[in-house]
Amino acid sequence: MPTLRALLAAPLVLTLLALGTASLPSEPHLTPASSYLPRLVVEGNAPAAAFLSRRDHPTPQETYRSAGPGIRPGDHFRAGSITKTFVAAVVLQLAGEGALHLSDTVDAQLPGLIRGHGNDGRRITLRALLTHTSGLYDYTEALPATDPAVTGAAGPSAQPLTPDTAVRTALTRPPVTAPGTYAYSNTNYVLLGLVVQRVTGHPYATEIQRRILTPLHLTGTTLPGARSTLPSSHSRGYHLSPGDGTLRDVTTTGPRIAGAAGEMVSTLADLTLFYGALLAGRLLPPAQLATLLNTRTAHGLYGMGIYPQKLSCGTTVWGHNGRITGSYVRTAATRDGRHVLTFRVNTDTLSDPGLEPALLEAEFCRPPSP
């Protein structure tokens, strides 16, 4: 499953949340996923998590459950690679407007930028960037374990990695696959951020704000750039130190590895509303939405900033996950956008690999409420 970067697991506590258009009930509705709660409770100052789902059929429903202190429904958190879905939506809007074509090469948009060690921007299209079939090396894999982006340190030396630096880092290595083969790489979306700026004359963050956040009233979502603090309210974020195995508080973090590949800060409600609106066709015309969800280029593994997952009951959900220092988040939705689930953990990685599939199965494979 795509991640921003593979990081070490840490213990956690789970909070479950489900969202619709009604107000939050005082007594949360329990789902089969709640059976996971006892397994995830740990002693001491442990991380926590949150789960949110929106069901619009037959009537909108909203549910919230917490299994441990520290997370509130409206908390802000780092959304990591979920940023990619927003970037892909902007690129496809620009394609629909004729401002660019997915068959354009990277070199046509960013002349001379991709050269060296077998990398050639004249052979890589925007479609390949969107679907992770460019073969470009993932620059985050070259960051040392002592880098603040990995350790969670913040301070004067923890400045954001610029897009140009990220690309130069990727170009120190040859392609990881032949063109046309799926290989998840954050470098692809850093380049797409540069393409958006070249085509529009505005930073990608400005275009995301103008085209998505403002129209959908996603007031809890920001692209913070160099800012290392989280807006109020927020819970703590934790990272398991690779050196001594201690659980570190990394709430204030220099977001060095993110950029257009994963810098976004958001809330459970905003992400749920975004994916519902995207899949319902509120952001893209039908042709562009079909292109977003077309997985043929990536051999069924990935669309454009979004990927499918087929569950045991036959339902296929669409969404993305995001992993960045101190945070893990996953959003999944039915194809029509009427049923959306978001959960997040304020640590880098789920300690129980069975948690995510169990939550998806419990939410999307259970019978609908009467």
Alpha-carbon span 325 to 176, nearest angstrom? 25
**Chain centroid to CA 50:** 15
Which residue, among 314, 79, 47, has the nearest Cα to 220 in the 3D structure? 79
Residue with tokens 């960013």: 110
Question: Among residues 53, 66, 81, 327, which one is catalytic?
Answer: 81
Which residue, among 30, 47, 7, 54, has the nearest Cα to 238 in the 3D structure? 47
Residue 252 identity:
T
187 contacts 211 by C-beta, under 8 angstroms: no
Return the half-sphere exposure (C-beta side, CA atoms, 13 A cut-off) of residue 323: 17
Return the half-sphere exposure (C-beta side, CA atoms, 13 A cut-off) of residue 89: 25
Total residues belonging to the chain = 370
81 part of the active site? yes
Residue with tokens 């921007």: 121
Dihedral-angle region of residue 300 (phi above 0 means left; psi in -120 to 50 means alpha; beta otherwise): left
- Active-site positions read 81
